[in-house]
Amino acid sequence: MKIGIGNDHSAVDMKNEVVDFLVEQGYEVVNYGTDSYESCNYPVYGEKVANAVAQGNVDLGILICGTGVGISLAANKVKGIRAVVCSEPYSARLSREHNNTNILAFGARVVGIELAKMIITEWLNAEFQGGRHQTRVDMIMDIEERKCK
């Protein structure tokens, strides 16, 4: 599985640790984030990863900024993206099982690296359950179709 990762200046160190963790787990990782500590704009990286996911260049995406909020908001503006911000593993797992999320975001200033690894593991190991959840995901995507014309 190929995972795209993006980050702003506040999350360079965490991104590097997450990349190492993912590679150790056998994932291929494509870095769309910055490697500089110089202040930059998180929407750039949220959009890069979201486009890569939407276009099928990577299977899933992970985004990290200070809180995870801003970068996920940018990603969610790309058609077909369902990005979720999670600060604990339970919501991460359920977001995949119930909402079929394709991008996970979290904050380098909110969670430590060990918690980030737990969140990522739960998210990646979860599978979309379909059924009644598919109906709801379809409804969400229908909103996108109607409002983005």
What tens digit of pLDDT does each residue of 87-113 get?
A: 999 999 999 999 999 999 999 999 999
- Residues 129, 138: Cα–Cα separation, whole Å: 13
Q: Which pLDDT value is given to residue 44?
A: 98
pTM of the model: 0.96
Instruction: Cite the active site residues.
Output: 65, 98
Token pair, residue 116, equals: 């980030």
CB 66 within 8 A of CB 45: no
C-alpha dist (Å) from residue 137 to 13, 30, 133, 142: 34, 27, 6, 8
Q: Which domain holds residue 48?
A: 2-147
Q: Domain count of the chain?
A: 1
Tokens 């200033």, located at residue: 109
For β-strands 28-31 and 60-65, DSSP reports them as unpaired
CATH at residue 44: 3.40.1400.10
